[in-house]
Chain A
Amino acid sequence: QKEVEQNSGPLSVPEGAIASLNCTYSDRGSQSFFWYRQYSGKSPELIMFIYSNGDKEDGRFTAQLNKASQYVSLLIRDSQPSDSATYLCAGSGFQKLVFGTGTRLLVSP
């Protein structure tokens, strides 16, 4: 069973802090990993993806991938209340994504 696991949270951080979201996966064949943000009642929005070991930065977001340890993380710097949402991690299979159940992030003013 190919799985992607995330802590459901909620993860609570104060405004301006760094939020760290983590994800582990079981399928070593997964090549790419994706972070989606989903606001309540809305569809998932792609934040960024990563396919190489190491870090990838995009604005306030940094994705980290460690294939040896099979984990992916997303760091959100200078967290804002508007970042409060559920963050879905997904790993790619052949033409498919395997989603985790998401981590709920709450950023308090």
Chain B
Amino acid sequence: DAMVIQNPRYQVTQFGKPVTLSCSQTLNHNVMYWYQQKSSQAPKLLFHYYDKDFNNEADTPDNFQSRRPNTSFCFLDIRSPGLGDAAMYLCATLAVPYNEQFFGPGTRLTVL
């Protein structure tokens, strides 16, 4: 009964080769988030959707884009991965009214 699902769990790509990470949720939550987390650092918010309204963080590189075709699914596209983009990518959803965020298991991205 997984609630936030991320695929794949591990992704290896080559420098500059586009990659897409996916997230799905069975919670019917309106808000979905993408975070990047590097070792020993806090999760860093990349962007979030409120329904179909897209909100980009000011310091999110243009190399990162996102799509949300429906309530259940959200995708993270990295157009030209660099070595510095190797990280854990976390998807999360928001529950009201107390704004708890529930995270998926994450996708570990390796860039060769």
Interface residues of A (CB under 8 A from B): 8, 31-32, 34, 36, 41-46, 49, 51, 88, 90, 92, 95-97, 99-102
Contacts and interface: CB of A to CB of B under 8 A. Distances in A.
B100 A99 contact: no
Nearest to B102: A46
Interface string B91-102: 000100011111
Interface string B14-54: 00000000000000000100000000111101001010000
A42 B43 CA distance: 12
B81 interface: no
Contact of A42 (B41, B45, B105): B105
Interface residues of B, number: 22
A31 B50 CA distance: 19
Contacts of B76: none
A92 B99 contact: yes
| Interface of chain A, main secondary structure | loop
Contacts, number: 51
A88 B31 contact: no
A99 B98 contact: no
Contacts of B42: 88, 99-102
B99 A99 contact: no
A56 to B, nearest CB: 12
13 contacts: A32-B99, A34-B100, A43-B90, A43-B106, A49-B98, A49-B100, A51-B98, A92-B99, A95-B99, A96-B48, A99-B43, A100-B42, A101-B41
Interface string B72-112: 00000000000000001010001000111111111010000
Contacts of B100: 34, 46, 49
Given A99-B42, A99-B43, A46 B101 contact: yes
Contacts of B43: 44, 88, 99
Contacts of B103: 36, 43-46
A42 B31 CA distance: 22
Contacts of A31: 99
